[in-house]
Amino acid sequence: MKETGKNRGLRRRFFPVSNRSCLLPGSVPDEGDKHLKNGLPEKLRLLIFDEEAVRMSDQSESEEKSEVQSCEFAKSTRRTFLSRLGMAGLLASARPVASAVEESSGKEQVLSPESKDAIPVTLRVNGEKYDLRIDPRTTLLDCLREHLHLTGSKKGCDHGQCGACTVHINGRRVNSCLCLAAMHEDEEITTVEGIGQPGNLHAVQAAFLAHDAYQCGYCTSGQIMSAVALLKEPCGSEDAEVKEFMSGNICRCGAYPNIVAAIQSVRQNPKPKAG
């Protein structure tokens, strides 16, 4: 118990000076107490004179024990770590051998697009038809980037939260990281590569350039694809409504004011000279 001004006053009022250190834990023993202290075992003396000190003594003993235990634990952890490290090295060097053994036994180890689980998929992307064999679990984003090498669509979060992967399917914007490629056969898929080319930019692409609506550019293809889709959506004329409609596209560089200005410039002047 912590001694405060209030309980110090109570103590002085109700307990004589000679035994108050017996009754109030943590207090300094009085002169009369010293006689009692002599000849008593340490623990008993502490018990009589200072319960708090006993508690602290027990606590320090248990702390010492736990310190010893933690030292032992640290030693065993270091030992365990070193032995695991050695084991990992062994496993790493043994892996090619194990693989060779398994390969020689004729087991199929890797699921590739050519494996028996791959399925034929036909996609129409930017007006071109592609016949592919892909793992049925392949997302549209991975299919575009890894199989068709259309790397304009970016992978930001891979969880449908940033909009960097935005493409159009039949004219509607979607997060391609959330779509399975195999589910979009016979649909018209458009990526940022399909809406404009250098020398023949889409009006939105030209407006982004003119308004400096990007910094690192990582989000920009997704922003442009959303902005192009927004032109056909029932979006009000105010900046606030544009911001709301573009809220699925995150820009970590914070180029939002310029992005909104670029989109508004296209909406107010639908056919600017494209660069």
Choose, by CB under 6 A, the member of 57, 126, 215, 264 that binds ligand FES. 215
Contact between 165 and ligand FES by CB under 6 A: the answer reads yes
- Distance of alpha carbon 177 from alpha carbon 156, whole angstroms: 9
Could you tell me which stretch among 73-81, 162-170, 187-195, 197-205 binds ligand FES (CB under 6 A)? 162-170
d(CA 97, CA 100): 5
Asked if residue 179 lies in contact with residue 191, where contact means CB atoms within 8 angstroms, the answer is: no
- Tokens 């270091």 correspond to what residue? 78
Residue showing tokens 């009006």: 203
Give CA separation, 47 vs 16, 76, 268, in Å.
19, 38, 87
160 binds ligand FES (CB under 6 A): yes
d(CA 203, CA 196): 9
Site for ligand FES in 229-268 (CB under 6 A): 251-253, 255
- Smallest distance, ligand FES to C-beta of residue 132, A: 20
157 binds ligand FES (CB under 6 A): yes
67-75, 87-95, 118-126, 154-162 -> range binding ligand FES (CB under 6 A): 154-162
* Site for ligand FES contains 155 (CB under 6 A): yes
Looking at 54, 123, 140, 162, which residue binds ligand FES (CB under 6 A)?
Answer: 162
Tokens 């000279």 appear where? Answer: 273
Amino acid at 14: F
Positions that interact with ligand FES (CB under 6 A): 155-158, 160-165, 175, 177, 214-220, 251-253, 255
